[in-house]
């Protein structure tokens, strides 16, 4: 795997906003057909890192490489043209547009001549439906349906299929499973796996360790802007990862304290998640 | 049943139902003679007047913005034409181009503020609305000493913009309305630019990231609304051989009501040109068609208010229906 240069690589990247350092000394590599899970609690700098990767921010210091060559993105469009595609929590699509129309926003297929060029609805619908079905979402078969009528998982799948169709090589998934139920989330995880099989480099951002473990090959934990851990699949247990994400504190101790302090109190969601076997 | 359900999910559904509802009320409660109503010119002329502006305003609202300065731009267009060609007696072409240039400049100003600031466009265009009223009134007083300017249009201009069709009482502006609606229908529903406008109204940031020139489209849409309003004013000055400072103020709300009844969502991202077209007809029939009924015309505003509320309610329902449309069952 390491014979070829990584599709995307960060070398000692810092990002500061004025005097505030948000990212410090981040070095990461993602190869083709590899899923990097980026874990971190809220405020750890995950979104800043994503925005740096997809061209919204430029790194204050450090280098960004694609296929071993240094790249600079001045705007999101540059990153997209280089093949970096970001899919946001809610799919980043247009709820009141049809599947076919939203799939081709900005790159509409047309037919006809001169000023009478028309949007080719049939082709657009057919391609969009085919692209989603190739990812195993066979429930989508009508390109005229509105995106807002799809389930959360289907929307994510549509957005991922769209990115892949338009030649994405690096897929950044920003908490794709955060708002989804168990079944929907497993759909999305399957699609992440499919994207990986097709040789994409996937950066999967999440704070759900279970989901990360299900698809990840490589894990990075971000704590207060620093890379606190960087390890391969199987090197750490679920509990260790959860503890890392919580800022290195021992979750078990924290839970014991909460339980001891007030048994009436509902345990917070993250403590509950950690308490599961 | 399936066909009806598909039809109801279209953005134009509410406007078609509103039209049927209004006609039913007029026939049942007002005893209107439909043949006479459809043969009448008054409401068609009025529909054309607001329709030429309602179509671009519909596009702008689908893109998620609003322009109320159109209310000042109708008299501004009329006064510009009348002052240039009537008061100063310059050739008609200068009066016509002058009106369109004034419309274009105000549109550029609105659009520029809309993309460069984060001020809501309702407030921006409220500002230009009031400012333009001031400019038109003060400018007219300054240049001509009056708030009403006569205009004797040249025959060609008269024929193009301000004549009655076939010697009847339908104005030539109706043809312009149909042309505007047809061109904008093509742009919105057939060309890729329509897709861009829907995308901008759906999510500006995603649209920009998808490579759509969001700012340029927004400015262009403001130029279109403003210029179309000036165009209507210009036509009216030519039609009626004079222009008044105050004409056209009511039109702001009438135009926006037509667009909303036509199924355009105030939050953007949803709507259609056929919907706006039918919404305009509906509005015009309520407003002018009431003269053909036994109903006292003072009730017209009540009907318009109720219709607006019902239409907005229907739009919401249909939008939910559209979103929850289940996939067709296979097998």
Contact call for A146 and B323, based on CB within 8 A: yes
pLDDT for the residue B331: 33
Q: Are B64 and B200 a contacting pair, CB within 8 Å?
A: yes
Task: Report strand pairing: A218-223 vs A226-232.
Answer: antiparallel
Structure tokens at B323: 């979103």
Task: Report the distance separating Cα B301 and Cα B257, nearest Å.
Answer: 12
pLDDT band at B266 (very low <50, low <70, confident <90, very high): confident
What is the CATH classification number for the domain harbouring A152? 3.40.50.300
Q: Are B81 and B96 a contacting pair, CB within 8 Å?
A: yes
> Are A192 and A275 within one domain?
no
> Are A85 and A166 within one domain?
yes
Of B206, B208, B319, the CB nearest to A94: B206
- Tell me, yes or no, if A118 comes closer than 8 A to chain B by beta carbon: yes
Indicate whether A102 pLDDT > 50.
yes
| Angle (nearest 5°) at CA B257 between B254 and B259 | 110
State the nearest Cα–Cα gap between B130 and chain A, in angstroms. Answer: 34
Range from A129-138, A196-205, B199-208 carrying the lowest mean pLDDT: A129-138
Nearest partner of B197 among A143, A66, A209, A94, judged by Cα: A94
pLDDT for the residue B328: 43
Contact call for B195 and A105, based on CB within 8 A: yes
Indicate whether B183 pLDDT > 90.
yes
pLDDT for the residue B228: 96
Residue A52 lies in a domain: yes
What is the Rg, in whole angstroms, of the alpha carbon atoms belonging to chain B? 20
pLDDT band at A12 (very low <50, low <70, confident <90, very high): confident
Q: What is the pLDDT of residues B270-312, one digit of tens each?
A: 889 999 999 999 989 888 888 887 778 788 888 888 888 888 8
Contact call for B322 and A146, based on CB within 8 A: yes
A118-140 burial: b if 16+ Cβ within 10 Å, else e? bbbbebbbebbbebbeebebeeb
pLDDT for the residue A38: 87
Indicate whether A267 pLDDT > 50.
no
> Are A241 and A260 within one domain?
no
State the nearest Cα–Cα gap between A87 and chain B, in angstroms. Answer: 10
B279 vs A136: which has the higher pLDDT: B279
pLDDT for the residue A175: 81
Task: Report the distance separating Cα B197 and Cα A94, nearest Å.
Answer: 12
How big is chain B, counted in residues? Answer: 331
Please report, for residues B2, B224, B247, B303, the alpha-carbon distance to residue B257 in angstroms, rounded to integers and kept in the order given: 30, 19, 18, 12
Q: What is the DSSP string of B183-210?
A: HHHIIIIISHHHHHHHHHHH-HHHHHHT
Nearest partner of B65 among B242, B318, B256, judged by Cα: B256
Structure tokens at B178: 């149909």
> Are A182 and A198 within one domain?
yes
Chain A residue numbers with beta carbons less than 8 Å from the beta carbon of B191 are 110, 117-119
Task: Report the distance separating Cα A10 and Cα A228, nearest Å.
Answer: 15
Chain A residue numbers with beta carbons less than 8 Å from the beta carbon of B192 are 108, 110, 117, 119
Contact call for B196 and A105, based on CB within 8 A: yes
Q: What is the ipTM of this complex?
A: 0.75
Return the H-helix or E-strand segment holding A26. strand A20-30
Task: Report the distance separating Cα B175 and Cα B180, nearest Å.
Answer: 9
Strands (E), A41-107: 61-66, 69-70, 84-87
Task: Report the distance separating Cα B81 and Cα B75, nearest Å.
Answer: 10
Chain B residue numbers with beta carbons less than 8 Å from the beta carbon of A120 are none
Task: Report the distance separating Cα A179 and Cα B20, nearest Å.
Answer: 43
State the nearest Cα–Cα gap between B40 and chain A, in angstroms. Answer: 35
Chain A residue numbers with beta carbons less than 8 Å from the beta carbon of B328 are 141-142
pLDDT for the residue B330: 36
State the nearest Cα–Cα gap between B150 and chain A, in angstroms. Answer: 40
Residue A38 lies in a domain: yes
Residue A68 lies in a domain: yes
> Are A262 and A197 within one domain?
no
Helices (H), chain B: 2-8, 13-28, 34-39, 42-62, 70-81, 92-116, 121-144, 155-161, 173-185, 192-202, 204-209, 214-240, 251-261, 273-289, 300-323
- How many domains is chain A built from? 2
Contact call for A105 and B322, based on CB within 8 A: no
Q: Are A186 and A136 a contacting pair, CB within 8 Å?
A: no
> Are A274 and A219 within one domain?
no
Indicate whether B213 pLDDT > 70.
yes
Q: What is the DSSP string of A213-252?
A: HHH-SEEEEEETTEEEEEEETTSS-HHHHHHHHTTS--HH
Task: Report the distance separating Cα B287 and Cα B305, nearest Å.
Answer: 11
| Percent of chain A residues past pLDDT 90, beyond the cut | 1
Mean pLDDT for the stretch of residues A111-132: 84
- Tell me, yes or no, if A102 comes closer than 8 A to chain B by beta carbon: yes
A5 vs B278: which has the higher pLDDT: B278
Contact call for A106 and B211, based on CB within 8 A: yes
Mean confidence (pLDDT) of chain A:
80
B222 vs B297: which has the higher pLDDT: B222
Q: Where are the domains positioned within chain B?
A: 13-25+33-318
> Are A68 and A111 within one domain?
yes
- CB contacts < 8 A, A to B, total 87
Nearest partner of B114 among B264, B210, B215, B227, judged by Cα: B215
> Are A273 and A177 within one domain?
no
Indicate whether A159 pLDDT > 80.
yes
State the nearest Cα–Cα gap between B180 and chain A, in angstroms. Answer: 16
Domain that holds residue A271: 250-277
pLDDT for the residue A149: 80
> Are A49 and A140 within one domain?
yes
- Tell me, yes or no, if A75 comes closer than 8 A to chain B by beta carbon: no
Of A102, A119, A146, the CB nearest to B192: A119
> Are A223 and A277 within one domain?
no
Q: What is the pLDDT of residues B135-156, one digit of tens each?
A: 998 988 888 887 788 888 777 8
Of A105, A107, A149, the CB nearest to B325: A149
Range from B25-34, B212-221, B245-254 carrying the lowest mean pLDDT: B245-254
Contact call for A101 and B211, based on CB within 8 A: no
B197 vs A257: which has the higher pLDDT: B197
Of A77, A139, A146, the CB nearest to B325: A146
> Are A227 and A257 within one domain?
no
Mean pLDDT for the stretch of residues A237-265: 66
Q: Are A212 and A206 a contacting pair, CB within 8 Å?
A: yes
Mean pLDDT for the stretch of residues A141-163: 83
Q: Are B77 and B99 a contacting pair, CB within 8 Å?
A: yes
| Angle (nearest 5°) at CA B208 between B62 and B63 | 5
pLDDT band at B248 (very low <50, low <70, confident <90, very high): low
Please report, for residues A80, B109, B269, the alpha-carbon distance to residue B210 in angstroms, rounded to integers and kept in the order given: 9, 26, 16
- Tell me, yes or no, if A101 comes closer than 8 A to chain B by beta carbon: yes
Structure tokens at B306: 């109720």
Q: What is the pLDDT of residues A163-193, one digit of tens each?
A: 888 888 898 888 877 777 777 788 888 888 8
Task: Report the distance separating Cα A179 and Cα B295, nearest Å.
Answer: 55
| Percent of chain A residues past pLDDT 70, beyond the cut | 86
- CATH tag for B13-25+33-318 (out of 1.10.3470, 1.10.10, 1.20.140, 1.10.287): 1.10.3470
Contact call for A77 and B209, based on CB within 8 A: yes
B331 vs A245: which has the higher pLDDT: A245
Mean pLDDT for the stretch of residues A21-40: 87
Q: What is the pLDDT of residues B22-74, one digit of tens each?
A: 888 888 887 777 877 887 888 898 999 899 999 999 999 999 999 999 999 99
Mean pLDDT for the stretch of residues A92-116: 81
Indicate whether A258 pLDDT > 80.
no
Interface test with B, best of A53, A79, A94, A101 (most B CBs within 10 A): A94
State the nearest Cα–Cα gap between A275 and chain B, in angstroms. Answer: 37
Range from A125-134, B74-83, B255-264 carrying the lowest mean pLDDT: A125-134
What φ, ψ does residue B117 adopt, rounded to 5°?
A: -120, 170
Label residue B37 exposed, middle or buried (CB < 10 Å: 0-12, 13-18, 19+).
Answer: buried
pLDDT band at A1 (very low <50, low <70, confident <90, very high): very low
**Beta pairing partners, A119:** A110
Residue B311: CA atoms inside 13 Å, Cβ hemisphere, count?
A: 37
Task: Report the distance separating Cα B14 and Cα B19, nearest Å.
Answer: 9
Mean confidence (pLDDT) of chain B:
85
> Are A117 and A93 within one domain?
yes
Nearest partner of B194 among B40, B36, B9, B63, judged by Cα: B63
State the nearest Cα–Cα gap between A188 and chain B, in angstroms. Answer: 20
Indicate whether A238 pLDDT > 90.
no
């Amino acid at each position: 795997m390491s014979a070829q240069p990584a599709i995307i690589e960060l070398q000692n990247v810092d990002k500061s906003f004025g005097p505030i350092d948000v990212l410090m000394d981040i070095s990461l590599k993602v190869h083709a057909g590899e899923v990097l899970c980026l874990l971190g609690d809220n405020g750890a700098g995950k979104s800043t890192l994503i925005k740096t990767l997809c061209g919204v921010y430029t790194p204050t210091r450090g280098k960004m490489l694609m296929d071993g060559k240094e790249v600079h993105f001045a705007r999101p469009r540059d990153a997209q043209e280089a093949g970096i595609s970001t899919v946001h929590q809610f799919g980043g699509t247009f709820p009141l547009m049809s599947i076919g129309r939203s799939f081709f926003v900005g790159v509409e297929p047309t037919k006809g001549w001169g000023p009478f060029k028309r949007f080719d609805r049939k082709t657009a619908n057919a391609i969009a439906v085919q692209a989603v079905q190739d990812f195993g979402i066979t429930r989508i078969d009508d390109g005229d349906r509105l995106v807002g009528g799809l389930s959360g998982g289907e929307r994510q799948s549509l957005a991922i299929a769209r990115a892949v169709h338009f030649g994405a090589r690096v897929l950044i998934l920003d908490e794709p499973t955060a708002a989804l139920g168990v079944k929907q989330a497993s759909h999305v995880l399957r699609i992440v796996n499919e994207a990986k099989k097709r040789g994409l480099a996937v950066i999967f951002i999440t704070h759900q360790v279970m989901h990360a473990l299900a698809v990840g090959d490589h894990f990075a934990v971000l704590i207060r802007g620093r890379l606190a851990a960087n390890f391969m699949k199987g090197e750490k247990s679920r509990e260790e990862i959860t503890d890392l994400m919580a800022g290195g504190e021992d979750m078990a101790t924290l839970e014991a304290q909460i339980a001891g302090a007030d048994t009436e109190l509902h345990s917070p969601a993250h403590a509950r998640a950690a308490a599961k076997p | 049943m399936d066909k009806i359900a598909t039809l109801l999910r279209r953005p134009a559904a509410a406007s078609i139902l509103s039209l049927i509802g209004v006609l039913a009320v007029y026939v049942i409660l007002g005893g209107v003679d439909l043949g006479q109503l459809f043969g009448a010119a008054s409401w068609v002329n009025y529909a054309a007047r607001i329709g030429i502006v309602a179509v671009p305003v519909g596009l702008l609202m689908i893109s998620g913005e609003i322009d109320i300065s159109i209310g000042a731009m109708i008299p501004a267009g009329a006064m510009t034409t009348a002052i240039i060609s009537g008061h100063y007696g310059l050739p008609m072409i200068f009066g016509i181009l002058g009106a369109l240039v004034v419309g274009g400049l105000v549109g550029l100003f609105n659009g520029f503020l809309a993309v460069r600031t984060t001020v809501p466009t309702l407030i921006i265009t409220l500002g230009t609305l009031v400012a333009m009223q001031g400019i038109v009134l003060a400018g007219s007083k300054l240049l001509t000493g009056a708030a009403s300017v006569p205009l004797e249009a040249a025959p060609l201009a008269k024929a193009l913009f301000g004549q009655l069709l076939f010697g009847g009482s339908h104005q030539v502006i109706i043809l312009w309305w149909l042309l505007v609606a047809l061109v904008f229908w093509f742009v919105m529903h057939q060309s890729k630019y329509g897709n861009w406008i829907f995308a901008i109204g759906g999510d500006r940031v995603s649209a920009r990231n998808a490579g759509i020139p969001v700012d340029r489209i927004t400015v262009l849409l403001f130029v279109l609304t403003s210029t179309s309003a000036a165009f209507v004013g210009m036509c009216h000055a030519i039609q009626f051989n004079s222009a008044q400072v105050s004409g056209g103020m009511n039109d702001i709300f009438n135009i926006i009501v037509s667009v909303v009844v036509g199924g355009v969502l105030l939050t953007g991202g949803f709507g259609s040109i056929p919907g706006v077209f039918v919404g305009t007809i509906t509005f015009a029939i309520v407003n002018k068609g009431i003269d053909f009924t036994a109903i006292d015309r003072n009730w017209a505003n009540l009907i318009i208010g109720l219709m607006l509320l019902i239409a907005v309610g229907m739009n919401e329902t249909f939008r939910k229906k559209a979103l929850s449309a289940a996939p067709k069952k296979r097998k």
